[in-house]
Amino acid sequence: MEKMDFRFLKRRIKGKKNLSKLNDIKENYKSIFKECKIIKSKQLFNIKIGKYKIWLKEGTSSSSLMTYLEIFKEKVHMKKAGFSGKGNKVVIDVGGNEGYYVLKMKENNPNLKIITLEPVPSTFKLLKKNIESNKLKNVILINKALTKKKGKLIFEIIPEVSAVCATNIKMQKRPWLDTKRIKKIIVKSTTLIDLCKKLKIDKIDILKLDVEGSELEILKNSKPILNNIKKIVIEWHSEKLKRDCIKFLKKNGFKLVYQEKKICGDLYFINSN
């Protein structure tokens, strides 16, 4: 796990009450990531960071804010020009987590229409609260996984780390992970083709995929409508998956315009057509 940048968060927080909550989160972080303790509390609370009211769960608050930092500080999924949402109309966010990507994209472009999918019910609850509490309009929330077929599937989660969930969590190497903490749940699923049909979407400006290893099967199943997508950003979780996604999308008319040089990062594609 990376270190939490509490100084960045502190600069964005005003008021004694919010700063006090930040100190509580700091203690939570020390307990989980330094002392390897498990905090099982599901109590919800909120903290005002920047322009947004952020809802958190006590047991996962520190891991949630690490995801917040990835989006708001490091600009994950937006590092390449043209992927910030500015000037765009429709974005589909697959792997919505607790909504930080949506919050940042709406900050960049308030008029943007975003469809975000998050399959885990407990995480979806926070996603919904974060969107509704900040009165964001033109955001469609879907409590489903995006896969190669409609129905239901077995999903793996880590209750204390909401950002890590997948059909197979162990696909990506995580030295810190005690595999005994992995739990299995059943979630609903849909396909990109069916989603676009139901919502009457014929053009997608940005498709963002962060689905912990299911990216390639989603792309292959969406082949009939790939030409309707202008840009795709994919967070890859293995070298093989990275190579396969690049090969598949290049073969189907997309140009790789940027890739991050690290163990796990984003691939940015633009439709050549």
- Summarised one tens digit per residue, pLDDT across range 260-269 is 887 778 999 9
pTM of this structure: 0.91
- The domain segmentation of the chain, as residue ranges, is 1-74, 76-152+190-271
In words, the CATH class of domain 76-152+190-271 is: alpha beta
Which whole number is the average pLDDT over 246-254?
A: 97
State the pLDDT confidence band at 170, using cuts at 50, 70 and 90.
low
3-state secondary structure of 78: coil
Distance of CA 148 to the CA centre of its chain: 19
Q: Which has more confidence, 62 or 172? A: 62
Say what the pLDDT of residue 60 is: 84
The pLDDT assigned to 29 comes to 83
pLDDT of residue 158: 66
Binned at pLDDT 50, 70 and 90, residue 177 comes out as low
Give pLDDT tens digits for 20-68.
999 989 888 877 766 666 666 778 999 999 999 999 998 889 889 999 9
In the sheet where 266-271 sits, what is the strand order? 139-142, 113-117, 90-94, 204-209, 229-235, 266-271, 254-259
> In which residue are the tokens 């790939």 written?
226
Structure tokens given for 101 = 């990507």
Checking if the pLDDT of 178 tops 90, the result is: no
Q: Average pLDDT over the chain, rounded to whole?
A: 88
- % of the chain residues with pLDDT over 70: 86
The confidence band for 186, taking pLDDT boundaries of 50, 70 and 90, is: confident
For residue 211, give the 3-state DSSP assignment.
coil
Exposure string (b/e) for 1-12, b if CB count within 10 Å is 16 or more? eeebebeebeeb
pLDDT in tens, 122-155: 899 999 999 999 999 999 999 999 988 888 877 7
Q: Look at 148-152, 166-170, 198-202, 213-217 and tell me which has the smallest mean pLDDT.
A: 166-170
Q: How far is CA 239 from CA 213, 262, 269, in A?
A: 11, 10, 17
For the cut 50, the answer to whether the pLDDT of residue 1 exceeds it is no
Residue 130, helix vs strand vs coil: helix
Q: What is the pLDDT of residues 59-115, one digit of tens each?
A: 889 889 999 999 999 999 999 999 999 999 999 999 999 999 999 999 999 999 999
Measured in whole angstroms, the distance separating CA 271 from the mean position of its chain's CA atoms is: 22
Confidence label for 226 from pLDDT (cuts 50, 70 and 90) = very high
Contact 270, 206 (CB under 8 A): no
Q: Provide the Cα torsion 177, 57, 185, 233; round to 10°.
A: -70
Q: Is the pLDDT of residue 171 over 60?
A: no
Residue 59: what pLDDT? 81
